[in-house]
Every structure is written in structure tokens, then in C-alpha cells.
Amino acid sequence: MNYFLPLLFMLALLTSCNNQQSQSKSEAQTEDTVATVVKENTQTAVKDADSSHIELTKTILKLLKSKNYKGLAQYIHPVKGIRLSPYGYVNVNEDMIIRAEQIDNMSKDPQTKVWGTYDGTGDTIQLSFKEYFDKFVYDVDFLNAEYLSVNRSLAQGNSLNNISEIYPGATFTESYFSGFDKRYDGMDWRALRLVFEKHASKDYLVAVIHDQWTI
């Protein structure tokens, strides 16, 4: 009997350690999910800071969906305006910047403008405001995206995500669809990132970054 007592003690100790490690791992995974990702139409809780950016994102997406650019103007950074990037990489030399006081009038202008270059070909993107927003801003229903995340990108593509380099200390949200047609095996994914910076203690929109599969 005395021979088995040490063995039983060791087995009990190992079982207790494994249970504690499993519980800690599970709690860490849960906290990470709660802090960064909200799946649409669920009751998942998020941190207060994340929650405010989630609500601000939904407000802006509603304005984009309804093409209410006059309403959108009040959320645009009053000093920096918003930079529009057609792909995930923010190109400070090519991307268009629009000021809050310009956007409503620009939305009514049918003239084409240069918005950067197309991925793959390098051809100039020459589109009207409406054409650009329909193709490189709200091209799918991002308001009802599959996932909405804060300071975390779920998109997996070839384009470099350089938000932290161009906007250090900013907060960004990503509205993400993993794909639409099974034939493309997820290569038709879409993402829209909204970047926010504080000005006079209020969060303002400084960038709208559209992302998709690139060559």
C-alpha cells in the first residue's frame, strides 16, 4: 500500500497542473476574441474602448451605404481630412486626401480624378467620385460584414498593411468578408479599414482603406 501512495500523489499533481494550464489558455483565448473581434448578429461583449469604435464604425458605414457625404463630413478629421487608399498598402505619394468641407461638393462632381494606380497593371485609376466609392470604398455591404474587428486585421493577402507605420498610435477597425463565391476559394475576400485619430479629445476619421486580393 505504501508503494502506491507516492505514485497516486504524482498523478494527482500532474492532473491539477494540466487543468490549470487548460483553464488559463482558454481564458486567454476568450479575452483575445472578446477584445478584438465581434461577429455580426451576436451578443459578444467587447471592451469599452473597442465598443465605442465599433459603434462609430457602424455609424460611418451607414453614411457610406446611404451616400450621405454631407453627414460623413462631421466625422472627417478637421485638420488632416481623410486619405483614400484603394488597396491595403497606404501610398502617401498617390492616395487622394479629401477635406471635410470638400467631400459633399466632390460627391456631386461627375469629372474623373486620379486616385492612384491599379494593382497588377500599374495603370492610373481615373474615376469619378461616385465610381471610385462604388469600386474602392463601399463595393460590398460592409455594414453587415461577416466580421468587425478593432486593431486587428483578419484579411490575408499580398498587400502590405502599413497602418501602424503611417498612423502610429491610431485606432483602426476592419469590416471583413472571407469570400462570396466558393469557386474562388476565398480569393474574393473584401476588407474595409477605417482609421481614427483623436483631435480635441474626439475620434475622427483620417483614412478609409479598401483591401482585396492583389496580384
- 63-72: per-residue pLDDT in tens? 999 999 999 9
Residue 199 lies in a domain: yes
Alpha helices in the chain (DSSP H): 4-36, 48-65, 69-72, 103-107, 129-136, 163-166
pLDDT, position 11: 47
Question: Which backbone phi and psi does 125 adopt, to 5 degrees?
Answer: -85, 105
What is residue 94's predicted lDDT score, i.e. its pLDDT? 96
Same domain, yes or no: 112 and 32: no
Q: Which residue range(s) make up the domain with 1?
A: 1-36
* Mean pLDDT, residues 132-158: 94
- 41 falls within a domain: no
- Structural domain contains residue 208: yes
CATH code, domain with 103: 3.10.450
Domain for residue 96, yes or no? yes
Q: Which residues of 174-205 are buried (b: 16+ CB within 10 A; e: fewer)?
A: bbbbeeeeeeeeeebbbbbbbbbbeeeeebbb
Identify whether residues 146 and 70 lie together within a single domain.
yes
Instruction: Name the DSSP class of 76.
Output: B
- With pLDDT > 70 as the criterion, what percentage of the chain qualifies? 77
Residues 27 and 102 in one domain: no
Please indicate, yes or no, whether residues 118 and 74 belong to a single structural domain of this protein: yes
Q: Are residues 85 and 4 in the same domain?
A: no
Same domain, 178 and 103: yes
Dist. CA 181–CA 167, nearest whole Å: 34
167 and 106 share one domain: yes
Whether 11 is covered by a domain: the verdict is yes
Q: Is 191 in contact with 175 (CB distance < 8 Å)? A: yes
- Side-chain-side CA neighbours of residue 152 (13 Å): 14
pLDDT bin (cut points 50, 70, 90) of residue 48 is low
User: Can you give the pLDDT at residue 98?
Assistant: 98
- 182 and 124, same structural domain? yes
Which pLDDT tens digit goes with each residue over 156-165?
777 789 999 9
Q: Per the structure, how many domains does the chain have?
A: 2
Residues 9 and 59 in one domain: no
pLDDT at 8 over 70: no
Domain shared by 18 and 59, yes or no: no
Q: Please tell me whether residues 32 and 103 are part of one structural domain.
A: no
Q: CA nearest 41: which of 61, 58, 64, 66? A: 58
Task: Answer yes or no: do 105 and 169 share one domain.
Answer: yes
